[in-house]
Amino acid sequence: MREQLLQKIADRSAVVGVVGLGYVGLPLAMEFAQAGFTVVGYDISERVVGLLQRGESHIQDVPGAAVAEQVKAGRFIATTDEARLRECDAISIAVPTPLSKTRDPDMAYVLSAADAIARQARPGMAIILESTTYPGTTRELLQPRMEAAGLTVGEDVFLAFSPERVDPGNTKWHTKNTPKVLGGVTAACVEVSKALYEACIDTVVPVSSPEAAELVKLLENTFRAVNIGMVNELAMICDRLGVDVWEVIDAAATKPFGFMKFTPGPGIGGHCIPLDPHYLAWKMRTLNYKTRFIDLASEINSGMPDFVVEKVSRALNDDRKAVNGSRILVLGIAYKKDIDDMRESPAFDVIRLLEGRGAEVVYHDPFVPSFREDEHSADSRRRFGVALTVEELQAADAVVIVTDHSPTAVDYQLVVDQAKLVVDTRNVTAKTRRSGARVIALSAQEGAYPAAPAHALQGAAH
């Protein structure tokens, strides 16, 4: 089996399946197709499959033309028909791994994908889980399902975990040139899945077990969550001290070694950083261990929308206004700059908190013209963004900048020229010429300690 599969991978006659065609699965499917494999993309969403079959793309980083080219060449087949997985020699799983309402792992998507694959599995298949998950998932949830189907892992089927590192919107690092970590259940599992990924990914990094590979991904995302939590706390510290947090971070970042720059903001978003560390925290709770760094970072990061809303409230108060009844323009809904992904965006919390205090909230985001308040419910209200016009800016009692979209996408000079009050949580107005608006930063810029006048700093630089 192993030899046969390696041969099929080498001569590209292997059919590769990708289960889940979202932010992770679709770019991966395109890489396999571009490497010369025939790819069967299986997704339960009729809408997604319909789009892809027509040669269109629903993922910003994958151009429609790339999908159309592969569909036309017959190298990419999108389907909702589970039975087509039986044609596959290798299957990568990239389905969602969200949290439940109680912030425990919701494994429903992984389990249903694993059950579908187990129903279609046959000897001579490699199965690789890509969804971010807690250590032990591959061995504890996938392996027993394959064995119940009568297949021996390492002999009949080859099982591995390989975390995806896709960074939506990143133009430098994408699926092909980002090194890929991989851990297999047996040595043969590593050999086969490594050969498969090396056919389309520049660098594959094998580790000794699926658990190590699962933990690598959680380390990467916990590292970010903890460091962002730390600079968010620094922003609150600077606010009390009356020191500009951005100045402190930029100056610290001039240290050429031993410092890595992270920036504060209104909270964290996306499908990874706010969620993934909780997979590890949950797993460790089952082993009677409390993950203190994860818990603290989560507490600080999830408190940032409150901190921002409190700033808005105080700033309006200075203008003798209440949040209640004020019109507030939220600038940016996406969870990070220049992308249309708004999953877990802190903007939702900021809006909810402002509306909870009686504000009338409108939003503008050039990447998100509209969104559903609850993306999981088709009945929930759809909100539409407003255009960023002089009238909208003048009509707002406050503008709250939540996402740091590039100045090519948002005219920040227009914002500071026309708005009365701007609460800038991302420091994007730093490069504008200050004019009409009073701009409030995430941390106070004028406070207890006297700052040297600007001309003295310029002098010091020479």
Strands of 197-331 (E only): list them: 204-207, 327-331
Q: Which residues bind ligand NAD (CB under 6 A)?
A: 19-25, 42-45, 48, 94-97, 109, 112-113, 130-132, 164-166, 168, 271-272
Q: Least distance from C-beta 159 to ligand NAD, angstroms?
A: 17
Token pair for 186: 């047996």
Q: Are strands 382-384 and 398-401 parallel, antiparallel or unpaired?
A: unpaired
Q: Least distance from C-beta 164 to ligand NAD, angstroms?
A: 4
**Catalytic one of 88, 189, 238, 272:** 272
**Neighbouring-strand partners of residue 79:** 42
Q: Least distance from C-beta 87 to ligand NAD, angstroms?
A: 16
Clarify whether 272 is annotated catalytic: yes
Q: Least distance from C-beta 23 to ligand NAD, angstroms?
A: 4
Burial classification of residue 177, based on how many CB atoms lie within 10 Å of its CB (0-12 exposed, 13-18 middle, 19 or more buried): exposed
Residues contacting residue 251 through CB under 8 Å, at least 6 positions apart: none
Token pair for 374: 């609850």
Its sign, for the CA torsion 61, 63, 66, 67, is positive
State which residue, 97 or 425, has the beta carbon closest to ligand NAD. 97
Q: Least distance from C-beta 132 to ligand NAD, angstroms?
A: 4
State which residue, 17 or 385, has the beta carbon closest to ligand NAD. 17
In angstroms, the CA 268 to CA 437 distance is 27
Query: What is residue 433's DSSP assignment?
Result: P
State which residue, 120 or 326, has the beta carbon closest to ligand NAD. 120
In angstroms, the CA 417 to CA 414 distance is 5
Q: Least distance from C-beta 155 to ligand NAD, angstroms?
A: 26
Contact present, 142 and 154 (Cβ < 8 Å): no
Contact present, 361 and 386 (Cβ < 8 Å): no
State which residue, 101 or 455, has the beta carbon closest to ligand NAD. 101
Q: Give the residue among 152, 157, 155, 163 at the shortest CA–CA distance from 197.
A: 163
Phi, psi of 129 (to 5 degrees): -85, 130
State which residue, 170 or 324, has the beta carbon closest to ligand NAD. 170
State which residue, 95 or 159, has the beta carbon closest to ligand NAD. 95
Residues with catalytic function: 272
